[in-house]
């Protein structure tokens, strides 16, 4: 069965173009042209991924993202935000709300399809039953790869998919410096110039959730000019 992509944009021509490219790649496209319609489609169709415009009538992309992440039955749905607004603050807000990725307008439809495929591959790997069951422990961090759950000093902490993948990469390589490209490949499935700020945002969000003092991190250390590393025990 074809994977279903919900494409949400108030510009019908954009939805039509994206639908054409996605359908040629074997996806089934569910169109929506405002936030309210997107919410109804989400609950009715249960798509495999959402391509979501930010600036829309009847609930904008930020509000739709909040609703999705707050609904346990929808919360795991991958979200790629598409935005004509290029301010870093807009991108940061979207990622902080739980978007998995963002693509600025104007965009190359082929790149959008590539990003959709990469994110869906990552989701499939996360759910793979063939993965060896194990738990990664470092200091007060305990990451259960089977249950996709984190506890910090025995306290449950919710992570986005990207945050989980980042933390898994760090916990699997304690004391080793991971380059920015390494981390992008491990967490998002691809790396290219321009995603650096997105990575920094995910790292900042992760630090807020696991560090006693995010401004003076105990676990995730910055290696200037290279990347990040998990402090060895």
CA dihedral 48, 15, 160, 167 (to 10 degrees): 100
Q: What does 66-87 look like in DSSP terms, one character per residue?
A: HHHHH-TTTTT--EEEEES---
Check: pTM over 0.85? Answer yes or no. no
Per-residue pLDDT tens digits of the chain, which is 233 residues long: 789 999 999 999 999 999 999 999 999 999 999 999 999 999 899 999 999 998 888 888 889 998 998 888 888 899 999 887 666 666 667 777 778 888 888 889 999 999 999 888 877 766 655 545 478 889 999 999 878 889 999 999 998 888 898 999 899 888 889 988 888 877 766 655 555 677 888 899 999 999 999 999 999 999 998 899 998 76
Reduced to 3 states, what is the DSSP secondary structure of residue 165? Answer: helix
């Amino acid at each position: 069965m074809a994977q279903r992509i919900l494409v949400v944009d108030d510009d019908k021509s954009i939805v039509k173009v994206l639908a054409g490219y996605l359908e040629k790649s074997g996806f089934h496209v569910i169109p929506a042209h405002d936030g309210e319609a997107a919410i109804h489609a989400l609950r009715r169709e249960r798509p495999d991924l959402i391509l979501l415009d930010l600036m829309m009538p009847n609930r904008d992309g930020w509000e739709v993202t909040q609703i999705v992440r707050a609904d346990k039955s929808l919360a795991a749905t991958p979200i790629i935000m598409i935005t004509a607004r290029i301010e870093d603050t807009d991108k940061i807000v979207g990622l902080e709300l739980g978007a998995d990725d963002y693509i600025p307008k104007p965009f190359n439809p082929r790149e959008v399809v590539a990003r959709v495929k990469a994110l869906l591959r990552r989701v499939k790997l996360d759910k793979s039953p063939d993965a060896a069951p194990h738990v990664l422990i470092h200091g007060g961090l305990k990451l259960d790869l089977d249950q996709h759950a984190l506890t910090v000093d025995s306290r449950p902490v919710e992570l986005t998919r990207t945050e989980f993948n980042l933390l898994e990469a760090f916990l699997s390589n304690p004391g080793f410096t991971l380059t920015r490209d390494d981390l992008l490949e491990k967490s998002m499935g691809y790396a290219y110039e321009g995603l650096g700020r997105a990575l920094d945002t995910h790292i900042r969000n992760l630090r807020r959730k696991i560090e006693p003092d995010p401004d003076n991190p105990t676990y995730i250390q910055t290696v200037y000019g290279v990347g990040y590393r998990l402090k060895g025990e």
